Structure 1
Amino acid sequence: MRGSVNQDWQSASIRITLGGLSLLPDLERYYESSIPDAIAVAIWFTGTTKKSHAYITVIAGFIILDHDNGFESMIAKPPFLDLDSHRKGIALSQRHYALQLLEDSGYSACKPTVVPMDPKISLTATEGELLPDITHYRWLVGKLLYLTLSCLDITFAVHKLTQFLAQPRLPHLKAVHHLLHYLKNSPGQGLLFSSNSSLQLKAFSDADWGSCPDSRRSVTGFCIFIRDFLVSWKAKKQTTISRSSVEAEYRALSSTASELIWLQQLLQDFQVTADSPTLLYCDNQAAIHIASNPTFYECAKHIEIDCYFVHERVASGVLKLLPIRSQYQLADLFSKPLPSTQFFSLLSKMVTSHLEGEY
């Protein structure tokens, strides 16, 4: 990779803090060092509160990646992150945080499970006995939210469980306990950041049509890679009901395209040029045809704005849509619960790490 961080960063009115500690002195010391070609990657966690719909962002730190000099370091790290530097890059996980959660919840000696959520169980908002005390459920889900910072494999399960915070029921609590059993199996699961590959931006987009039994809304799932490491992923219920699987897939494409455009602009701010065009993989041929051919818009007027938004990026060469077989669709991890065979098949195709240790 050839690129440098924008040297005009000091002129911007930006103050980034972590637990009251300003990160700017650390960045300033970095810029004063003689490292000419590098990229600073900010890691953050964003969540929402259901009542106020307020966005909460926690800056987790900065990883400095230098392809030419092999320099990799973390200049700011909160206590709930674990780092392991080796020849392949930096392994980022929350192993100690996960182990502490298991101990605090009384599941440190539980029997491990192989998947974070049982695909045979469908959770609804009305079935099951209401919990007499919802505090414990909310406490567990709140703790699990922080684990999604590095544990991409539990993202969908946590997304599903957060939908029942208002009135959790016994099946929901059992699903949380099942997830804790999964954490016992792989507390050190995390991400691997490597600087030994080309700077290619690529994404996988998917939707699970009408999968919510309470509202029949679809679930959008996507994951985005820079180089070979994962930098952005999401599991989110769509805001409207889709009348066809094509419509659900196209809404997911639009959300993924928006995230890609934002990441492209972020790289430009760092004066880093990514390989063009950005690759966007989708396993729905009809959605790809609509994005590539304006003549299909007549049968998709109900999603016309999304159609034009994606088509404009495809026509300009910013995005390139490519088909992919469903068994290779990595975004399936973020849109639905999967059986163990498919779950581990997709997880193994992502550049992930596992910090070992006694537990």
Structure 2
Amino acid sequence: MKFGLYSEMQLPSGKTEKQVYDEVIEQIIHADKAGFDVYSLIDHHHFSKFSISTNPLAVYAAVASRTKDIRFRTALHILPQQNPLRLAGEIAAADLITDGRIEVGVGRGHAWVYPNQGITPIEEAKPRFEEALAILEQALRGEKVNFFGKYYTADNVEVCPRPLQRKMQFTTGGTSEHTYRQAGEKGWGIFVPPLLPLATLLDKFDVYRKACWDNGHEPQIIWLRSVYLSDGDENQLRQEAEKHFYNFLLGNAAPTAGLPEKERMINAGFLFYTKGILQNLPKMTYEELLEKNVVWAGTPEAICEKIEKIKKEVEGLVEIDFLTNYGGMDHWKVLKQQELLSKRVMPNFKNTKEPQLNRV
């Protein structure tokens, strides 16, 4: 079992943008020393309460010389809003700087990153994604790019530099059945949204696993959850964690005020955003959040039990990623959470033999 950390880099009241970036850099350096396998940052623009992580590759380059083993994943590069030829060169440069530790996450992005007056209309998100992906895959294989589509044209274009890794690890994430099927067909890892209950994802996992096995790939499911660990009693735990959880949920719900019209989202394939799920999460009680596993809180032993349970319920699970930096949490608390996970949770799952997956 691999373990990683994930941060949305929300901008809380009381912290400056510079402070958020400086703290995340120190947290990544600590995570490397603590033995985490991967650190993931979101690629997001326009809504500071949700995220100010607009250039993950720059952060990874900043910590490259101060870390040794930890890998770096972007979750996810929003391809419809990128020039894929430029992005391929930027990823390759980051891979050279980090000595081959970059992993490539790709996606269409949240529905709210396509405002009505935006450069890219939401209706173009899916077709632009497919064309940009085809170009990015060619370029990161070190090939000259030849592509002639509706939105992009590349006639024997050399992309330089080439990445150090000759085969880049791709990951995607989202809520649509198409995303899970495509990930399985291509042999990508699937990055599970961090706030959805397991029951809402089971049918998507079935689609993903079948597509993997039909195409000769092993499933690689990455489970995300915001977590708070403490040896205190339930009342103390709640006092320490509750406000951070709710600030996190409010930050995720904040950009929904900028969503396009419902009909446009449905027609563009962003059905999830029409259901009001994100808007309703902050309305749940603390007890409901824990009961439905929207967030994880408890002693290190209790978190181990939750991991054991999710391992049994999710066939193809290969990695657990934790959110420990969320909702305006103090920097020292984040480091404490990372330390508790590395010393009292992760050792219980390292170097254990994984069961063979059933491919029937």
- With CA pairs under 8 Å and 6+ residues apart, which has the higher RCO, 1 or 2? 2
Q: TM-score range by the shorter chain?
A: under 0.3
Normalised TM-score (structure 2):
0.26
Normalised TM-score (structure 1):
0.26
- Select the structure that is richer in helix: 2
Q: Highest CA radius of gyration, 1 or 2?
A: 1
